[in-house]
Amino acid sequence: QVQLVESGGGLVQTGGSLRLSCAASGNIFSIDSMAWYRQAPGKQRELVARITGSGNTYYADFVKGRFTISRNNAENTLSLQMNSLKPEDTAVYYCNLRTSIIMGAQAYWGKGTLVTVSS
């Protein structure tokens, strides 16, 4: 089993910045990718950014140029640097870890951390 714990959420004004972190523990190996998702009230969960084991990054159009995803493999942590925040970014942000197909392509989720951007 894998456990994911997010931190760093909070209240920030429009234009401000936050840095989210995700600590992974447990039976971790053969990681295909890690990602940040978010879910706003009344909306479906959506992908924000993903980083593969080889370091390739992918961003949703609505955060490209503002958010940066990074991973520290030695510490088993995932980060999301969020700049130029907008009220539309208000959501619960979730850390996601996906194992390789060799390990069954399992997906693991954290409980989320709330980001609130005030106008």
Question: pLDDT tens across 66-117, in order?
Answer: 999 999 888 889 999 999 999 999 999 999 999 988 888 899 999 999 999 9
- How far apart CA 98 and CA 35 sit, in angstroms, is 8
Please report where in the chains the tokens 């994911």 appear, as a residue.
4
Percent over 90 (pLDDT), the chain: 80
